[in-house]
Amino acid sequence: MRKRALVVGLGIAGMSAAIGLRQAGWRPVVVERAPERRRGGYFVGLMTEGRQAATDLGIAGHLHTRNPPDGGKTWSLTRRGNREPGLGFLHQPGEPAAVVRGDIEAALWQGTRGDGTSEPIDVRFATRPVEIDGTGTDVRVLLEDAGTGARHCETFDLVVGADGLRSNVRRMVFGPHEDYMTKWDAMICAFQLQEQVPSFARADSVISARAGRAVWVFGFADRPPTALLTYRTGDVEEQFTGSRVERLRTVFSEMDDPVVRHTLDSLERTPDFLFDSVHQVKMPRWSRGKVVLVGDAAWCPNLYSGMGATSGLRGGAELGRALRENQDDLDAALTAWESRLRPFIRKHQRIARVKQQMFVPSSRPAEALRSVVLRLACTARERRLAKARAAEGTAS
């Protein structure tokens, strides 16, 4: 009989794991506490490893990318409000693919529906686990219907927790969030803009960064930009009191430039936005018995790393690969999966501290150093592009 796996969470990590499990010959069941699938979302730069994982999972053909021509123009605003050429997220090595979170989830959703050679994956909305017992030969899970409150028990050969930063699967099986969530003393707010910042081109990206706070606008080829507001704080708990919008207006009150004003005004009109504290998840092991965590539940690299979506896709693809290679030994499969993936995760969790300084410098000296580094990098990039154009002209 085919082995059954319960996947908790219908996000990028959850659907990737479910497809990987199906590729390994398992029969996954996905439960999602929300009543329907999410759409839209904030900017995501999908790195080389993420694009390869999308290919491995068979969803690359469904993935719609939105890169502006030649990477688009990025502008950085000085303290006086002047524009300078800048370097955006898409100018990193590896040529990231520009998408919103919903683009990846839409492609994965198509993958879960089957393609004639594979059956659709069973997805149950408005359903969540309330008890997980992995002490027997199978994992017994008590599931609850969010609409009716009805509960029933099912058994699985494996449970995959893909339910995000504050994972209930992790809490029930591994222990309190505080044991694994590191504090970064920073906040983020991300959302979809309805229109570009006035006086900038449709696909431009714009950055206004000061010591302790920053606003980023990410431009796309074929849809309005998304915005990211981020700031550092010594009292994270206080940030969740009162109105989120008023909190952000107070935090950014000293940054009076068109990008900040437009972004804050847009935030008041948006129906949906992400507002949260910044953390990483660090665990000595991502599995316990027949329960395994993936994505942010296991290793959240955080938004500054830019690797959340990429690592979620790769985690699911690698899980399927390990299960295929160790079909009769689950412990060996999970050990092999983790040993292959952990160096990649550890590397990008470390780099995230450096990237945080680029997103939101910690002090005035750090702000000044950041500006110098970016100017030098912009100059070097322009020289490379000019050299490449000259070589193309000579060849033609």
pLDDT, position 263: 96
Q: Write down the mean pLDDT value for the chain.
A: 94
pLDDT digits (tens, 9 = 90+) for 120-138: 999 999 999 999 999 889 9
**pLDDT (average), residues 32-37:** 95
CA distances from 92 to 100, 118, 274 (A): 17, 36, 25
- Given a cut of 70, whether residue 373 has pLDDT beyond it is yes
Q: For the chain, which residues make up each domain, given as ranges?
A: 4-40+101-180+280-355, 69-97+184-278+369-384
**pLDDT (average), residues 76-84:** 88
- Given a cut of 80, whether residue 388 has pLDDT beyond it is no
Nearest to 77 by CA among 303, 194, 306, 252: 252
- Specify the pTM: 0.94
- Given a cut of 90, whether residue 102 has pLDDT beyond it is yes
Report the residue count for the chain: 396
pLDDT, position 24: 97
Nearest to 88 by CA among 270, 251, 269, 225: 225
- 191, 286 Cβ separation under 8 angstroms: no
pLDDT, position 172: 97
**pLDDT (average), residues 2-11:** 96
- 173, 163 Cβ separation under 8 angstroms: no
CA distances from 223 to 170, 193, 292 (A): 36, 10, 37
Quick count: other Cβ atoms within 10 Å of Cβ 250? 11
pLDDT, position 393: 75
pLDDT digits (tens, 9 = 90+) for 201-242: 999 999 999 999 999 999 999 999 999 999 999 999 999 999
- Who wins on pLDDT, 140 or 374? 140
* Confidence category of residue 115, pLDDT binned at 50, 70, 90: confident
pLDDT, position 85: 87
CA distances from 266 to 81, 256, 302, 334 (A): 20, 15, 24, 45
Residue with tokens 């408005």: 126
Please give the backbone phi and psi of residue 230, each rounded to the nearest 5 degrees, phi first: -145, 145
User: Residue 140, class by beta-carbon neighbours within 10 Å (0-12 exposed, 13-18 middle, 19+ buried)?
Assistant: middle
pLDDT digits (tens, 9 = 90+) for 264-296: 999 999 988 999 999 999 999 999 999 999 999
pLDDT, position 396: 63
Q: Name which CATH class applies to 69-97+184-278+369-384.
A: alpha beta
CATH of domain 4-40+101-180+280-355: 3.50.50.60
Which residues are within 8 A (CB) of 47 and not within 5 positions of it... i.e. 6 or more apart?
92, 94, 96, 306, 307, 310
pLDDT over 70, % of the chain: 99
